[in-house]
Structure 1
């Protein structure tokens, strides 16, 4: 029984570190930019070098050593080896990122230029609308002034016509008054003369009889 438990303990002592240092799935990482790294047979400098990887190359992470200093990776040539963990990065190399960044910068610059152009076009549109509005206001003011001038001229003409009409009325009234007075005067004169004219005629008639 004791030997059996000892055997189980020894097996666990070998299996647990392996389980603890193994990764549950492979993850993609990148070799850092400023160097080339050596590939080793195992997780330590005592293991032989099997090759190198250039900066920026993409690898798949398989597992990490218990102390975290070494990582077992698989490169694009399907080589499985160990490298120092500090030489791995979560980001692609600058060599790969720079074109993408330049493209993104170009896109942002184009958007900024387009935004500036759109803003300028909007300003120009508002300016044109304001100019047209001011022109319409000026035209309306001019038309209003002309209408006022015409209205004043028409009022002056109406007033002049009214004055002429009043003068004609007064002249007509005076004319009729003078005519009436003349007729009345003539009638009065006739009335005064008739007694002198008619009786003489009668007397002459009597004398002739």
Structure 2
């Protein structure tokens, strides 16, 4: 009696796990899968070793998981687009094999290396352009300072020249002479007109 009760309890305990396993397998039906990391696996025409071997399938090959037979522990797969076969379910993995992961990592590394190389080229190009721009800015600043210095010198010379012109004796003498000539020309015109007026009176 105790043995019977123990067997019933064991069945009741394992039943949820069996149902959960069946539901998980059903949910994964039709999803992409891979052959696990064995060298190769024999594939059969039915769910069990008693069925005819229809070939082998290499490790890492991409397949489509169809369904699972819980009694035999075999899974039905689809490979090479339209072929179906059975093999032990432990050979089916829903994550890429190490070989596929390694190839993907190599591809990703090559792509990232190309991206890094392009970014380094862009960085070098931008650094060269920045260096040229800095040199041009420095040259323009030097030219501006030189122009400002030349302007200051010319302004000082102009101011000195203008003040020295009026201080030169010849310039002052010429100015006095011109004023005297103008006055000399205007004076006879003014004086005779006054004399003529006195005579008629």
**How would you bin the TM-score normalised by the shorter chain?**
0.5 to 0.7
State yes or no: 1:134 paired with 2:129: no
Contact 1:23 1:62 in 2 (8 A): no
Q: Take 1:144 and 1:54, find their aligned partners in 2: how far apart are those partners?
A: 82
- Of 29, 32, 48, the match for 1:28: 32
Q: Take 1:29 and 1:79, find their aligned partners in 2: how far apart are those partners?
A: 14
What is the match of residue 64 of structure 1?
Answer: 68
Question: What is the count of residue pairs matched by the alignment?
Answer: 153
The Cα of 1:136 is off from its aligned counterpart by 0.9
The Cα of 1:164 is off from its aligned counterpart by 1.8
State yes or no: 1:80 paired with 2:85: yes
What is the match of residue 158 of structure 1?
Answer: 162
Deviations 1:30-55, CA, capped at 9 Å, x for gaps: 211333223356656x7467253221
Name the SS for the 2:64 alignment partner: strand
Two-structure CA RMSD over aligned residues (Å): 3.8
State the TM-score, normalized to the length of structure 2.
0.58
1:135/1:24 CA distance change after superposition, 3 Å? closer
What is the match of residue 116 of structure 2?
Answer: 112
State the TM-score, normalized to the length of structure 1.
0.56
The Cα of 1:63 is off from its aligned counterpart by 1.1
Within 5 Å, give how 1:27-46 maps onto structure 2: 27-40=31-44
1:61/1:74 CA distance change after superposition, 3 Å? same
- Structure 2: gaps (5+ residues): 1-18, 181-201
Q: Take 2:76 and 2:158, find their aligned partners in 1: how far apart are those partners?
A: 106
Over alpha carbons, which structure has the higher Rg? Answer: 1
Q: Take 1:67 and 1:129, find their aligned partners in 2: how far apart are those partners?
A: 77
1:39/1:149 CA distance change after superposition, 3 Å? same
Contact 1:33 1:94 in 2 (8 A): yes
Contact 2:37 2:98 in 1 (8 A): yes
